[in-house]
Amino acid sequence: MKLTVKYFAQLREQLGESETWAWPASAAPEAKGQPATVGALRQWLQGRSPAHAQALHDTVPMRAALNQCLCSADDALVDGAEVAFFPPVTGG
Amino acid sequence: MDVPVLTVRVDAADFDVGQEIAQLRHAHPGVGAVVSFVGTVRELHPGADDPASGLVLEHYPGMTERSIEAMAQTLVARHQLKGVTVVHRVGRLMQGEQIVLVLVAASHRREAFMACECLMDWLKGEAPLWKKEFDRDGERWVMANDRDTQALARWGVRIGAAQ
């Protein structure tokens, strides 16, 4: 499964603007009988580097968007999706 | 034709409130009420002489515009609005500069006031925009606060419903 992951605000400063991942079949949640969700992607990304582990840690307040729509951790990923992680918003 | 007019812009350029109101009213010259809200960059340290302070606004190109449009459309339907204009600036803004404009046109003032306040609360709570403060001591990201979440909750608009 190929995914483009985008980061904004603090996360962008820590991890860069965006990265494209080809989720290896062996590491994909389906291989372990689990659904491929936005939450599973966050867990997997935490293992990519110490910076990822820190920036995407479970205790960091975070929102996510799937194909530019706000989503929850339970939402299912689709091949080619654009997933964005970012802090709670502060506009206006 | 009595089609509601929706204008949403997210960019670095400043806006002219009078010109935006004139454009909104042009489509509906017989409208009874236009309510406007202008958000500006407040001074970070009231009383202190720090004119070099301000905000940097970051957004998610594409998603930010679409999410605000969806919010505006929801409120147009809910309150039978005649038109909505939202202009949100991004980039580096100095203390005192305009950040955001919300205009709501409706037949009566009550709907216009309510929709304008609701749209501001909704935008603050859900539109993908992030603020970073800067002053002579450096820069820091602004944290979301519970007050804004509570302000949004009272309108009964579902979190995430704008998309």
Q: What is the pLDDT of residues B84-139, one digit of tens each?
A: 999 999 999 999 999 999 999 999 999 999 999 999 999 999 999 999 999 999 99
Domain span including residue B134? 5-153
Chain B residues within 8 Å of chain A (Cβ atoms): 39, 57-60, 62-63, 66-67, 88, 99-100, 120, 123-132, 141-144, 159-160, 162-163
Do A86 and B126 lie within an 8 Å CB cutoff?
no
Q: Is the CB of B67 less than 8 angstroms away from the CB of A70?
A: yes
d(CA B2, CA A5): 42
The more confidently predicted of residues A78 and B18 is: B18
Q: Supply the CATH number for residue A56's domain.
A: 3.10.20.30
Q: Residue A49 falls within a domain, yes or no?
A: yes
Which chain A residues are Cβ-neighbours of B60 within 8 angstroms?
6, 8, 65, 68, 84, 86
Q: Looking at residue A66, what is its pLDDT? A: 96
| Rounded average pLDDT over A33-57 | 92
Of A35 and A92, the structure prediction assigns the larger pLDDT to: A92
Q: Is the CB of residue A1 less than 8 Å from the CB of residue A77?
A: yes
* Mean per-residue pLDDT of chain B: 92
Shortest CA gap A17–chain B (Å): 11
| ipTM metric | 0.91
Of B66, B123, B141, the CB nearest to A92: B123
Reading the block at residue A86, the tokens are 């970012």
Greater pLDDT, B9 or A35: B9
pLDDT exceeds cutoff 70 at B159? no
Residue at B158 is within a domain: no
Residue A92 lies in a domain: no
The CA-atom distances, in angstroms, between A48 and each of A9, A54, A78, A86 are: 20, 11, 21, 18
- For the segment B36-48, the average pLDDT, to the nearest whole number, is 90
Q: How many domains does chain B have?
A: 1
Split at pLDDT 50, 70, 90, the class of B163 is very low
Answer whether residue B1 shows pLDDT above 70: no
Burial of B127 (0-12, 13-18, 19+ CB in 10 A): buried
Band of the pLDDT at B151, cuts 50, 70, 90?
confident
Residue B19: predicted pLDDT = 98
Q: Which of B63, B99, B141 sits opposite A68 (nearest CB)?
A: B63
CA triple A68-A71-A74, angle to 5 deg: 140
**Lowest mean pLDDT: which of A9-13, A44-48, B50-54, B154-158?**
B154-158
pLDDT at A27 over 80: no
Give the mean pLDDT of B40-61: 89
In a domain, A91, yes or no: no
How far apart are the C-alpha atoms of A85 and B77, rounded to whole Å? 31
- Domains: count for chain A: 1
* Mean pLDDT confidence for B40-57: 88
Q: Please report whether residue B161 resides in a domain.
A: no
For the whole model, what pTM was predicted?
0.91
* Residue A19, domain extent: 2-86
pLDDT of residue A25: 66
Q: Is pLDDT larger for residue B70 or for residue B155?
A: B70
pLDDT at residue B67 is higher than 60: yes
Amino acid at position B32, single letter: G
Residue B63 lies in a domain: yes
Selecting from A10, A70, A89 the residue whose C-beta is nearest the C-beta of B163 gives A70
3-class SS letters over chain B: CCCCEEEEEEECCCCCHHHHHHHHHHHCCCCCEEEEEEEECCCCCCCCCCCCCEEEEEECCCHHHHHHHHHHHHHHHHHCCCEEEEEEECEEEECCCEEEEEEEEECCHHHHHHHHHHHHHHHHHHCCEEEEEEECCEEEECCCCHHHHHHHHCCCCCCCCCC
Asked if residue B158 has pLDDT above 90, the reply is no
The verdict on residue A46 lying in a domain is yes
Closest C-alpha to A8, from B100, B127, B12: B127
CA-CA-CA-CA torsion sign (A90, B48, B96, B147): positive
Task: Note whether residue B163 is domain-resident.
Answer: no
**Residue A14 resides in a domain:** yes
Across the interface, of A8, A68, A88, the residue whose CB is closest to B62 is: A68
Closest CA to B92 of B134, B42, B154: B134
